Structure 1
Amino acid sequence: MLAAIYCRLSKEDMIPFGHGEKVQESESIQNQKSLLTEYATEHGWNIYEIYCDEDYSGIDSERPAFCRLLEDAEQRKFEIVLCKTQSRFTRDMELVERYIHNRFVLWGIRFIAVVDHVDTEIKGNKKARQINGLINEWYLEDLSENIKAVFRHKRSTGQYIGGFPVYGYQKSQSDKNKLVIDEQAAAVVRRIFALYLAGNGKQQIASLLNAEGIANPTKYKQQKGWNYVNGAQRNHLGLWNKTSVGRILKNQMYIGDLVQGTRKKVNYKSKELVAVPKEDWVIVPNTHEAIIDREVFASVAKLLGEHTKSSGNGKTHLLAGKVRCMDCGSAMLKVSNSSANYARCYLRCKLYATDKSCCSNHSIRLDRLEKEVSDRLKKYIQLYYTPCWGNLLSDTDGEEKHIASLQKQIACLQADVLRHEKALQDLYLDKSAGVIEAEQFAQLNRAYLKDSQRLKSRIFVLAQELDKTKSNTDKTALQGKVLQWLDFDTAPRELINVFIESVEIGKRNLQTNEQNILIHWQI
């Protein structure tokens, strides 16, 4: 008779050993091969083939050698399947029923698990096999929950657990759970934010990056030699699109906050990921060096929230999302009046365009409006900006020292939290290895968690004080920007976003050609 031998080894079968991992000798592939080969020889069976899967979970139904074994079994290439234990074949109860109890029977194949004393030829053995299947599945479910608990703890303590870092960062060589800036990619991220604040649309930014031959995030990671695969990738040319640009503009990771837990698996058996509600994301502030200033990120977020529309060439106009009809309050939409010799843009009341009975025809030439707003903005700044601001805002030495002190205290407390996290990991591994009892583990675990919570509470209080202190120095930063902004002909988009809340346009007087333009200032 011909027997097929199946062996499997996964990370489930690893135990802690020093600073790394060591395969349990009893579970090694070599041990399984030796045991099963000897068993086949003792029974006078010839070995058809030895099928081996390494680093694959027992719940995975897409193991390469496992799938090949099933294909050969269906073609009746052997009469017996030999495994060390039933869990080596599968830990999924559904697969146990589908193959061991059904298809193998139809195909005339006998299944034997040597250590479990499982043999489909023995009558009355089915219940034992089903119990084994349930125990194996319970084990996987329990293992899944334990792993989730460890991951939750790592996320809450500000440790990065992703397989690949977000574009613009790389993992620290000294700590794989810490992100450090990848300067080459970070420069592209900074440029994307700058281009968007300057009024460029997402598609136009993508076109600029493509024209310069800059690889998109997926291609860039692959060029670095990472085994990274993007399931949503539309092409293999490494091209940017407005979606990839928009994803970067919205990513809070770039201001130094660690954002994790945005997706999760449906269950431990499935590989499918589903989105997690934003309120359930795990966000830990100030865990790594920021690429983008919080003020810049907030300005971009506000622009993105205004749902600004482009001018058709991928570039948003300076006042996009801020102009409204003075009579009905509707948004003023951009329209073009073009001929063979000229092209001119206007802003018109959205409600009037939809239903002329609801409002009157408010319209204004876009270039004239931008010129008028720029002139008024320059006068507004010159009127309210005086040199005395410098005197009022220059005494920041004490605040800077206080900020440095707070940052140092927070860093020390975060280091203490990380030490607690490491101690908890070691504790869990000791429990898994049987070094300590479950009751002792529970007591120590509660003590560590209580102490960690105390440290986190202190960090939270200090972080709030730090934010408050930093906000007191924002006026100084604004003063420096105002000095740079005073010299312009057409106001930059960034300046408009800082000073102007909205602009209202009245109906033009056809006799005097006058039109009321009202600006609502933010500061």
Structure 2
Amino acid sequence: MRAIGYLSQPHDRLTRYDQDGESTAVGRLDSLPSLVEQNAEFLKYCQRHGYEPTATFLDADTSPGRERSGLIQLLRHLSEEARGFTFVVIQSFANLGHDATQAVRTVLQLRARGVQLISLTDGPIDEASLIDLWRLHSDPDTDSERRRARLQERARLGQAIGRPPYGYRVGGDGRYEVDEEEAAVVRRIFGLCLHDGLGIRRIAQRLNQDGYQTRRGRNWSMVSIRDLLRNPVYVGRYDKLGVSVPHNHEAIVSEPDFETVARQMAERRTATGVSHPSDFLLAGLVWCGEDQTRMIGVTRRQNWRKASGETAAATYRYYQSEARTNQSVGGYHTRRADELEAEVLAHIRGERQGGEIAVLNIGKDDTALAAETAVALASGEARLRAIDRKLAQLLEDAAAGDPPPSMLHEAGAEIIAEWESASADLASIKGRAQAQDREADRRRRRDQRLQRVREDWESLNFPQQRDLIEHLVDRVIVFDNSVTTQLKA
């Protein structure tokens, strides 16, 4: 499993903002390790748990008002790269924002990108523990360590904090007890992996075909199956806030079966010949026009025996609807990789109809543009503050039980999407002020790239070709009978 470290030097005090935007210092953070110490702890954690550290992102100055460029790069990296079986490791919840609401927003942004979040101080951070951490760090009492101690004492007693995992409910003594209806599905999932040898994609497909749904009434996905199969709660272990209690509650699967499944999953992840989405020229750029979902690169290898007795093999590469690949639902929309890539190249070269070139709209009056940008900038910043107030109100409501903390991720998804959209708009506005100065250079570079595609393509290696495509193509939309290539301005 891969691990990414996020290191930051927190501001000297974590701050709480109320609904009117007034701030209150919550407590000093002087005891948090330095960036060097955090990196050493991250590497030790990876070595101890057998994770492969693949990248580290850091922010040395996280004072209010400063842009967290390291966090922005991390979020962009997770959006663009394959992230299956990836953990993001941080020192503490406090490292994620200069106030508790901002830290929650960062958690929801990371979780929305399909990664698991682990705090070396607080333990795994999920929807169940998020409200408790928010309460802890929002407490204006400077002695908030007392609150942490109370929660950790509850964890040491094995009492549930937050939403129980699938297969369990909270019993009268505060501990997990087996929910037999859900537990039967858990045993079936482990059985499909252990006895039938199915991978997580096939397990999700089987459950969805048989009509099983998650607790929220949704289809099972590869991510939900993966998380369930590697959750030690099913062997009776309770992990919360950095506390681990073995044999805390009734197990649903045996430890030998759990360990065998873990080995099988590890072998599948390290098997040779597994395709990585970035091996495809158009990875991340192709969308299905029929069902409005992203299409991802898929490699299939097939072996068969000829009539003569000889063994033959073939490899098939194609782009397929992501919903079909990950959940085995939706239409079976595919395009052979070589054919689609050749068609997109023909569009770029102007050899075939289907390419659409976007035009950058740059104002000719520099003074008017500067004034317009200043107004838009102030409006964009006000919009972000308003969205953060909405998130703070949602957290207050969730802390009061409506919506329940278990639904926080779902309830906050719209707010996070709105914040990211507003943040992207604001970043675009900030960039607009420099757009005129960059326009001439941008056009020159674009013309050079187009010329390389038209004249030097065959002499380029794959990374060079991929770099050109990423800079030139905004989106490829695939319909059953046509392909549209939208070029960047």
TM-score relative to the length of structure 2: 0.29
Of structures 1 and 2, the one with the larger relative CO (CA 8 A, separation 6+) is 2
Q: Which has the larger radius of gyration?
A: 1
